[in-house]
Structure 1
Amino acid sequence: MASLSELAELNPWRKNPWFESVAEAQRRAKKKLPKSVYMALIAGSERGLTRDDNTDAFGELGFKPHVVGAKAERSMETSVMGQPISFPVMISPTGVQAVTPDGEVDVARAAAARGTAMGLSSFASKPIEEVAAVNPQTFFQVYWLGGKEEVLARLERAKAAGAKGVIITTDWSFSIGRDWGSPEIPEKLDAKAMVKLAPELAVRPRWVTEWAKSVIENKAMPDLTTPNLVAPGEVGPTFFGAYGEWQGTPPPTWEDIAWIARNFDGPVMLKGITRVDDAKRAVDAGVTAISVSNHGGNNLDGTPASIRCLAPIVDAVGGDVEVVLDGGIRRGGDVAKALALGARAVMIGRAYLWGLGANGQTGVENVLDLLRMGLDSALIGTGKSSISELSRDDLIIPEDFFRRLGE
């Protein structure tokens, strides 16, 4: 993380690679990326009600600050699924991060540089072996796709590559109904696709130059395949091919979740919980952790914000499993609010993707630094010496804030 003295030396009147908010990372990503690529990073289901509530809900929570007695030293270390991390922010798995040529490898390097864990999607554009090599604290995300033999093969491959745990994602229905339109994503980046995208690419020369350099160095066109769905070295299906296979696979049962928990040699997180009864079923299935998540608003639109569902779930199962929050984190203060409501840590998605789009690996590090600095400010403002001291007593919580689903 850049020190305050280093930040002070930066000249704000010249073009600066450092950005001082996640909102600025988003603005720079929008300016740099082709429209279709950028739209893929902001998309949400249907009207976007859940996507917007994920962020807006944090604004309804206030702090009760202390103005005297701030602690000189403050601790942010924690652990998730047995992995120690330097502060309670982790990388949430997102598919096909072809925002930069190195995609998920850039993100994994950034997370490792900041001492935190990397979640890698099974729909990623880089193989788990490459990602785990640069960040040993990698959790591999799996969808229930294909039969048990295929799922087991992916679990075994992840373990062999060094994955420290797996994340089972259940909170995705991939609604194609988006009121603002779905981004145009090509099946593969061949000559036909490049011609079709030419008007977008012509006005984004910096992005095109980065990819052209990668093509020249690697002597190959980039692809949009999913290498983690096949054996190492084999060519995986395209993203849409993988999506089609996922659509054709019956959704998992609770018995299937329990089967994964039994058959992976390591900790397992179940991602997508918003109901108390589902959280209890997850405990019964034998998972190590749960992620309170609605897939960033890309699931059933109208689902409450993740932060609204967090506290009732923590109250119900927080003594039995680790509980993390995923959805809507844009500031360090948001992290503090989630921790105060009982989350062990948070996972971020769009925030780091905007950092990646704005400035590659350095941009992701920038986003992580901002969240760490914002969390530190919240600890100072509430007079805490450790994140473990944060509690609901530090927050102003509206009476109707929580959504107690499935109690």
Structure 2
Amino acid sequence: MAGQWFESVAEAQRRAKKRLPKSVYGALVAGSEAGYTLDDNTSAFRELQFAPHVADLAPERSLSTTIMGQDISIPVMISPTGVQAVNPEGEVAVARAAASRGTAMGLSSFASRSVEDVAAANDKTFFQMYWVGDRETLAARAERAKRAGAKGLIVTLDWSFSHGRDWGSPSIPEKMDLKTMIKYIPEGITRPRWGLQFLKAGFIPDLTVPNIPVDGSAPPTFFGAYGQWMFTPPPTWADVAWLREQWGSDLPFCVKGITRVDDAKRAVDAGATAIQVSNHGGNNLDSTPAPIRVLPGIVEAVGRDVEVIMDGGVRRGSDVVKALCLGAKAVAIGRAYLWGLAANGEEGVGNVLDILKGGLDSGLLGLGKSSVQELSPEDLLIPSTFTRQAGVA
């Protein structure tokens, strides 16, 4: 809505916290255990400094690139996140905002809106899959996404959320029935605007996930789907190679959750055309390094073979610049756009993308670059202790 523009992702977060019930906001910011990884994801960027120029700067700058076969106006895409019950339109609103800014949408298999609806809203949609179910089910789920118009497949392999958080895990109900709504009335009273927007839309927040069924059955709840994931045996690299074949050798295939060089190489061997360097936003194994720290070694090892996407801790356009300098083809954002969605719906997501675009353009100007393709490690001052590497033969 007009008049609700914000000038930073930090302000979007403040507005989201003010607008959302405590339990909903807690689900957006949660990390695992002590939150060491969650903190490192953002703080690592502060250790990198720029080496700007002051003359002969490029008067015009190109921010566009290509990722997973799609031309995008900025090297920032939407990372898949689970049930987006912060706004009635959820992932469809996010998809429309991304489309209006000319960039790609990553849709979670645990999303609150169907792949059919989201792909119709953004023709640059990539469908993300967890390893849920047997091979027949997985192949059918991928085929459903392909029929819906998904342009690429993202397979998330990092295995789990931690159960314990030192500051307490967010309270997320199994389903929104009458008993649950009564329980959460005290929270709703303190944040009335959030509940009213759902009432105006004609429904209450739905915690089911419509992208899991492949046989026309009723969609499970988020926790039902999560349980299926946890009780499905973890995949082998042979399984990943099999799914790549099922998806189609001519279609983009990304493996998400990479933090080690040897895993990056195995993903390439399994047929990946892209990898996403990620620690699940600090929600996986705590004390895993920030993706920006492990990015250079992974790019050096496989950057000539696959496109490298990075997510984790991106809050500013300058963060995007730093990731591109270290070899990422594009970055993916998660919490940043969810805060925008909570703050101002579809326009809030677009607002976040505009903020990142503006900061990215300013970074190119200061560094004397005419294109994002020209960025390199020489544009940064990198502390000798900054990078981390694991799995190096």
State the TM bucket, normalised to the shorter chain: over 0.9
Tell me the alpha carbon deviations over residues 162-185 of structure 1, each in whole angstroms, 9 at most, x when there is no partner. Answer: 000100001241111101111111
Deviations 1:254-286 (A, max 9, x none): 001111111102211000111111111111101
Q: Where does residue 287 of structure 2 map in the other structure?
A: 302
What residue is the counterpart of 2:144 in the other structure?
157
Counterpart of 2:306? 321
Distance 1:124 1:145 in 2: 14
1:70-219 to structure 2, matched below 5 A, reads 70-215=57-202
CA gap of 1:99–1:221, structure 2 versus 1, over 3 A, is closer
For the 8 Å contact 2:198–2:204, the answer to whether it is kept is no
User: 1:246 aligned to 2:229?
Assistant: yes
2: CA distance, partners of 1:209 / 1:222? 11
Answering whether residue 306 of structure 2 is matched by residue 332 of structure 1, we say no
- Indicate the residue corresponding to 1:6 in structure 2: none
Q: TM-score, normalised by structure 1?
A: 0.94
The aligned counterpart of 2:268 is 283
CA deviation profile, 1:11-50 (whole Å, cap 9, x unmatched): xxxx941100000000000000000000000000000100
- Aligned-pair CA distance for 1:232: 7.3
Aligned residue number for residue 31 of structure 1:
18
C-alpha spacing 1:246/1:239, structure 2 compared with 1 (3 Å): same
CA distance in 2, matches of 1:400, 1:167: 32
Letter in 2 for 1:139: F
1:146 is paired with a residue whose SS is: coil
In 1: Cα distance, 2:243 partner to 2:22 partner: 38
Where does the alignment leave 5 or more consecutive residues of structure 1 unmatched?
A: 1-14
> In structure 2, what is the equivalent of residue 372 of structure 1?
357
Give the drift of 1:233: 5.4
Percent sequence identity is: 67
- Inter-partner Cα distance in structure 1 for 2:100 and 2:158: 29
1:135 maps to a residue whose letter is: N
Contact 2:137–2:214 under 8 Å retained in 1: no
The code of the aligned residue for 1:248 comes to F
Mapped contact 1:225–1:235 kept (Cα < 8 A): no
Give the SS at the match of 2:254.
Answer: strand
For 2:68, give the aligned amino acid.
Answer: M
Note if 1:355 corresponds to 2:340: yes
SS of the aligned residue for 2:126 comes to strand
Q: Deviations over 1:293-323 (max 9, x none)?
A: 0000000000000000000000010000111
1:224 paired with 2:211, answer no
Question: How many aligned residue pairs are there?
Answer: 389
AA partner of residue 117 (structure 1): A
Instruction: Provide the C-alpha distance between the structure 2 equivalents of 1:72 and 1:282, rounded to a whole number of angstroms.
Output: 40
**Cα distance in 1 between the residues matched to 2:158 and 2:312:** 12
SS at match of 1:140: strand
Letter in 2 for 1:39: G
What's the CA shift for 1:234? 3.7
Corresponding residue for residue 4 of structure 1 = none
Distance (whole Å) between structure 2 residues aligned to residue 316 and residue 246 of structure 1:
31
**Partner Cα distance (2:198, 2:167) in 1:** 28
Q: CA RMSD in A?
A: 1.0
Is residue 166–residue 268 contact of structure 1 (8 Å, CA) maintained in 2?
yes
User: More displaced, 231-240 or 160-169?
Assistant: 231-240
| Cα distance in structure 1, aligned partners of 2:343 and 2:185 | 21
What SS class does the counterpart of residue 323 from structure 1 fall into? strand
- The whole-number CA distance in structure 2 between the counterparts of 1:111 and 1:233 is 29
CA distance in 1 between partners of 2:112 and 2:264 (Å)? 31
Q: Which whole-Å deviations, capped at 9, do the CAs of 1:190-233 have from their partners, x for residues lacking one?
A: 11111111111001111111011112xxxx54421111011375
What is the DSSP-based 3-state SS (H/G/I as helix, E as strand, rest coil) of the residue aligned with 2:128? Answer: strand
Residue 242 of structure 2 corresponds to residue 259 of structure 1: yes
1:81-103 Cα distance to aligned partner (Å, 9 max, x none): 11100010000000001110110
Whole-angstrom distance in 2 between the partners of 1:54 and 1:158: 31
Retained in 2: the 8 A contact 1:332–1:378? yes
Equivalent pair of 1:101/1:211 in contact (CA under 8 Å): yes
1:227–1:234 contact (8 Å) kept in structure 2: no
The residue matched to 1:145 in structure 2 has which SS?
A: coil
